[in-house]
Chain A
Amino acid sequence: MAYLTDRKRAEGLGSAKEGTHHHWLMMVSSASLAVLTPFFLFTFAPMLGKPHADVVAYFGQPFPAIITALMIAATFMHFKNGVQALIEDYVHGVARKIAIIGTICLSYVAAATGLFAIARMAL
């Protein structure tokens, strides 16, 4: 017991060297969302309550379609990684794995659905 070195005791603990990469992904997605959010807000919000034909024609234009698609993709990837940090803080064991897998699946399903909707109106 006394012969174990400090290094031997520390090895294998910690975040498996993935924390830095996770943090970098959050920095990249948050920086891109900081730029995208105002563009998205002022393209999306004014269309609420407009006639259906106008909305479809609007999202058929390149600028609203591309901004909205980028916003959906960046949002759900940011959400996926952010919620993972939340789950890792408060949920443990098998429940943690299930919660993280569920979050990742939900994020991709929501992103794919949103992108499909934009593609259908734009093409």
Chain B
Amino acid sequence: MPDVNRGNRPLSPHLTIYRPQITSISSILTRITGNALLLSALLVVWWLLAAATSPSAFALADGILTSIFGKLVLVLSLWGLCYHLLAGLRHLYWDTGGSMEIVWAEKLGWACVIGSVVLTAICVAIIWGIA
């Protein structure tokens, strides 16, 4: 393609120059939570493998996950999971073509942020009740 000029073209301004908005924040949070949940998923796999291995291996993994720091990581993971779930449902809804207007995108963004905190609190309460 010798006729395509690849140099000296103006670049579109990128993320850093824009004022943060609920649409952009709720989008990037989806990506951050989704990728950060790797840590949580690996902790769960480690805990399961430890349980399948021996009582001493389980004692170590379970001890770390139920320590104060472990619980903090797990509750943050739960929030990340709740947020990513709601944001994922938003994407599935958008894929049907619904609520693409900016005003609705902003409302759904706030719904994901606020809803994830509420959902986390409900889940913690339920798990506390069962366990």
A46 touches B52 (CB 8 A): no
Q: Mark each residue of chain A from 6 to 38: 1 if its CB lies under 8 Å from any CB of chain B, else 0.
A: 000100000000000000000100110110010
B35 touches A86 (CB 8 A): yes
Chain B, interface residues (CB within 8 Å), range = 35 or more
Complex Cα distance, B78 from A46, in Å, reads 13
A48 touches B48 (CB 8 A): no
Q: Mark each residue of chain B from 34 to 63: 1 if its CB lies under 8 Å from any CB of chain A, else 0.
A: 110110011011011101100100110010
Complex Cα distance, B93 from A27, in Å, reads 11
**Residues 29-82 (chain A) with a chain B CB within 8 angstroms:** 30-31, 33-34, 37, 41-42, 44-50, 52-53, 55-56, 59, 68, 72, 75-76, 79, 82
A29 (CB) vs chain B CBs: closest residue: B88
A110 touches B126 (CB 8 A): no
Closest chain-B Cβ to A79's Cβ sits at a distance in Å of 6
Contacts A76-B41, A117-B45 given; does A49 touch B62 at CB 8 Å? yes
Q: Which 9 A-B pairs have the closest CB atoms?
A: A117-B48, A117-B52, A120-B52, A46-B131, A114-B45, A46-B130, A1-B3, A49-B66, A117-B49
Interface residues of A (CB under 8 A from B): 1-2, 4, 9, 27, 30-31, 33-34, 37, 41-42, 44-50, 52-53, 55-56, 59, 68, 72, 75-76, 79, 82-83, 86, 110, 113-114, 116-118, 120-121
Q: List 12 A-B contacts (CB under 8 A).
A: A37-B81, A37-B85, A41-B123, A41-B127, A55-B62, A68-B48, A110-B41, A110-B42, A114-B44, A116-B49, A117-B48, A120-B52
Interface residues of B (CB under 8 A from A): 1-4, 31, 34-35, 37-38, 41-42, 44-45, 47-49, 51-52, 55, 58-59, 62, 65-66, 74, 78, 81, 85, 88-89, 91-92, 95, 123, 126-127, 130-131
